[in-house]
Amino acid sequence: MPEGDTILRLASKINERLSGARALASIFRHPRLATADLSGRVLIGATSHGKHLFLNWDDDRSLHIHLLMQGQVHLGRRPIAEEWRRRFEIEFEGKTLTGVDIPLLHLIPTSKTGDFIGHLGPDLCGALDLDVAIDRVAADSDAHLGAALLDQRNVAGFGNVYAVEVPFICGIAPMTTVGTIDGLDALLSIGAALIRANARLGPQNTTGRKLSTSDQWILGTTRRDCPICGSILHRRSGSNCPWNRRTIWCEGCQRTDDTVVDIQRAQQLLAMHPARKELDFGGDFGGSDLFVGNRDPVVTSRR
Ligand SMILES: [Zn+2]
């Protein structure tokens, strides 16, 4: 599933190539939008919040797009997907914007965009107030960490890549309940730094080893053993996971009886990732005084 960093990069790409462009024609193959027409309208720009994408037009309408698990947006040539799968096609001079397998599509007054994102937590890739995000994730102390990171009402933007990789980087098992985690603020700061760095630099990458690829520590690999300690990696399919998503963890590095965020481990695992520049790990690895972005303090120890 495209996560918040991927959607922000898509919005940026659309803005670079199409902001101010006039639509020459449009076709919608979606029951709700069968008669919609954007021909003649000028695209003011694209915006995003978490995984939600909005194309904002000069007649005060916005096309709301959510890709869920399977949707794709193509910019440039028309993709080869069958016609019925191309849920929208918007023609511009020399370019086509095509939505393939888009499950959620609405054409709404721009003033109503809040109806789609008002319930969401802070946008991890936007103007983030991490204190609010921490409070929202911490509010349900019995929630499993993996589920709490995926709940867009807590924070908007994390998908399964971050729900698996951030706990691994921090040495916390994904089924740990958030109320028992010592250093949840640091864990969220690290996750925010990762997704924000990936949104800025792309592609989505959690290791920093091969930044031009979507390299991941454990989720996107077929390896059976942990790349850090060599223990067997545990895997659960979505149907066997309490939060219905595929999950992977290392019982050696992510022991269920150790609920303290391992700052030193996170520093080591992020040593090659640009996200490290957004985090001031300090000198004592005590989980205190982490910083994100322009060195404005967003996480300080509450202990
Ligand atoms: Zn391990």
Neighbours of 82 (CB within 10 A): 8
Report pLDDT digits (tens) over 182-217. 999 999 999 999 999 999 998 899 999 988 888 999
CB 125 within 8 A of CB 192: no
Residues in the chain: 303
Instruction: Quote the tokens at residue 12.
Output: 């940026």
Q: How far is the CA of 274 from the centre of ligand 1 (A)?
A: 23
Name the CA radius of gyration of the chain, rounded. 20
pLDDT at 100 over 80: yes
Residue 280 pLDDT class (50, 70, 90 cuts): confident
Q: CATH classification of 4-117, choosing from 3.40.50.300, 3.40.50.720, 3.20.190.10, 3.90.550.10?
A: 3.20.190.10
E strand segments, the chain? 25-28, 43-49, 52-57, 61-66, 72-76, 86-92, 95-100, 104-109, 233-236, 247-250, 290-292, 296-299
State the pLDDT at residue 33: 96
Query: Mean of the per-residue pLDDT values for the chain?
Result: 91
Q: Where are the domains of the chain?
A: 4-117, 130-299
What class has domain 130-299? mainly alpha
- The arithmetic mean of pLDDT across residues 125-153, rounded, is 96
C-alpha closest to that of 91 among 38, 167, 12, 160: 38
Residue 289 pLDDT class (50, 70, 90 cuts): very low
Q: How far is the CA of 191 from the centre of ligand 1 (A)?
A: 19
Query: Which residues on neighbouring strands pair with residue 34, listed in sequence order?
Result: none
Q: How far is the CA of 150 from the centre of ligand 1 (A)?
A: 23
Amino acid letter at 171? G
Q: How far is the CA of 222 from the centre of ligand 1 (A)?
A: 15
Q: How far is the CA of 291 from the centre of ligand 1 (A)?
A: 27
Q: How far is the CA of 224 from the centre of ligand 1 (A)?
A: 11
Secondary element (H or E) of residue 7: helix 4-18
pLDDT at 303 over 90: no
Give catalytic residues, as residue numbers. Answer: 2-3, 51, 245
Instruction: State the pTM of this model.
Output: 0.89
CB 111 within 8 A of CB 139: no
Report pLDDT digits (tens) over 20-63. 999 999 999 998 899 999 999 999 999 999 999 999 999 999 99
State the pLDDT at residue 283: 46
Report pLDDT digits (tens) over 232-269. 999 999 999 999 999 999 999 999 999 999 999 999 99
Torsion from C-alpha of 202, 206, 212, 218, nearest 10 degrees: -130
State the pLDDT at residue 282: 58
Residue carrying the six token digits 């029951």:
31
